[in-house]
Amino acid sequence: MSIMRSRISHRTVIVLAVALLALFVPAESRAAAPDRLSQLQRDADALRDDGITGVSVRLETPHGVWTVRSGVGDLSTGQPVATDGYVRIGSTTKTFVAAVLLQLAGKGRLSLDDTVDTWLPGLVRGHGHGNDGHRVTLRQLLQHTSGLPDYIGDVVPDLSAAGYLANRWTTYTSRQRVALAMKHQPSFAPGAGWEYSNTNYVLLGMVIKAVTGHSWEYEVRARILHPLRLTRTLTPSNWPFLPGPHARDYQQFEPGGAMTDTTVAYLPFDADADGSMISTAADTSRFFTALVQGRLLPPTQQAEMQRTVEVPADRGFPPGTRDGLGLFWAPLSCGGGYWGHSGDGFGYLVWPATTPDGRTIVTVSLHSRPGDESSATRQIQDVTALVDRALCSAR
């Protein structure tokens, strides 16, 4: 569900007093509020105890909004994690991009069955007829069934603290990212499998420009951010800094190694339609609520977005995960499931999850990532357990 899973985790992917804040608790929920807050805090603390430097969780239900924090937002000063601070949302960007594509489809300006070559002629070529834009559709890009290779490995030549520091300012155009991907063989023929590839959404950003004459960032702002008044959601492109307030992000590049401050974006993969946006938990929640409640898409396109395919069990996603068009579905232990799309990069992870009616949504933000795969897997299990308890307890 996230950039770093496809980028890094195939190769790898502190403590202060806890602060918690009940933002609004109406009378009818006062009895449940202490238990809910207590469980949220325990789950946030469990993530801290599992090695995360800073954790923030925001839960919205019909009965109120709760925010808890754990750990610290700055290892050098011990400052607490900012309340609803700015965060990089990584691959959660893809859901915004998918919503714009589907809006354009609803207006008849493109078809999901258009091929890539319809809008970007000659761009997807390589390895003989292996990578062929005549055979890949926009739907396959949206759903990661294109088989196109991922460019990410090519822009991370040195997975180390020194490599991050040396390469984080390097910029690429979308066309350059696609060209890097085309050097590799496809994973499978278009439509014949499923494999998460960031290249898919770089191409979709380019398609938006070809259809509208505007950048994907412009269209996201005009079609989503402004109508929903998401004033704290940004499309920074190659601007590498987070606005304040924010927690600092830390990446451990090797097992047991030091934590490297990675708050500055890694521009080789933090600057395109596959994962460049910045937001807050409150804004992210408002977006997903509007999306699943049908306030952004016509009914036909809403149904298309939520038509899912199975995600293979060996791809690092929670068991039972299914992929729609820029939106993932995962089951809950109490029955049913939730919609969302996580995102991560060097030193950060955000995990928004909403019930199908959009009335309950939890967003988990982590401000460090470990250097070994077993710790990364365990921490993701902690996150999914938190999400499951939060959404099930709100029923």
Of 119, 124, 86, 120, which is closest to residue 232 (Cα–Cα)?
Answer: 86
Q: What is the pLDDT of residue 33?
A: 59
To the query of whether residue 91 is one of the catalytic residues in this protein, the response is yes
Residues whose CB is less than 8 angstroms from the CB of residue 81 and which lie 6 or more positions away in sequence, other chains included: 54, 55, 56, 69, 70, 71, 72, 73, 247, 367
Residue 326 CA to residue 98 CA, distance in Å, equals 5
The single residue listed with the structure tokens 């791809």 is 315
Asked if 338 and 332 touch (Cβ cutoff 8 Å), the reply is yes
Task: Check residue 129 and give its pLDDT.
Answer: 67
Whether 214 has a pLDDT exceeding 60, the answer reads yes
Interval 304-317 mean pLDDT? 93
* DSSP 8-state secondary structure symbol assigned to residue 297: S
Comparing CA positions, the residue from 147, 145, 132 lying closest to residue 307 is 145
Least confident segment among 31-40, 113-122, 139-148, 306-315: 31-40
Q: Using 50, 70 and 90 to split pLDDT, how confident is the model at 180?
A: very high
Omega into 245 within 30° of 0, i.e. cis? yes
CATH level 2 (architecture), domain 3-393: 3-Layer(aba) Sandwich (3.40)
Rounded to two decimals, the pTM is 0.90
> What is the predicted pLDDT for the residue at 128?
64
- Rounded Cα–Cα distance for residues 148 and 246 (Å): 35
When pLDDT is averaged across residues 225-248 and rounded to a whole number, the result is 97
Answer yes or no: is pLDDT of 52 > 60: yes
More confident residue, 25 or 51: 51
Residue boundaries of the structural domains of the chain:
3-393
The string of pLDDT tens digits covering residues 341-380 is 999 999 999 999 999 999 999 999 999 999 999 999 999 9
Residue 254's pLDDT is what? Answer: 93
Beta bridge partners of 249: none
Q: What are phi and psi of 81, to 5 degrees?
A: -60, 135
**Of the residues 2, 6, 70, 91, which is catalytic?**
91
CA Rg value for the chain: 20
pLDDT digits (tens, 9 = 90+) for 3-37: 444 444 433 333 223 332 333 333 334 445 567 67
**Beta bridge pairs of residue 313:** none
Beta strands at 250-252 and 368-369: parallel, antiparallel or unpaired: parallel
Q: What is the pLDDT of residue 194?
A: 97
Tens of pLDDT along 92-130? Answer: 999 999 999 999 999 999 999 999 999 999 999 987 668
| Backbone phi, psi, residue 264, to 5° | -70, 135
Q: pLDDT-based confidence at 199, cuts 50/70/90?
A: very high
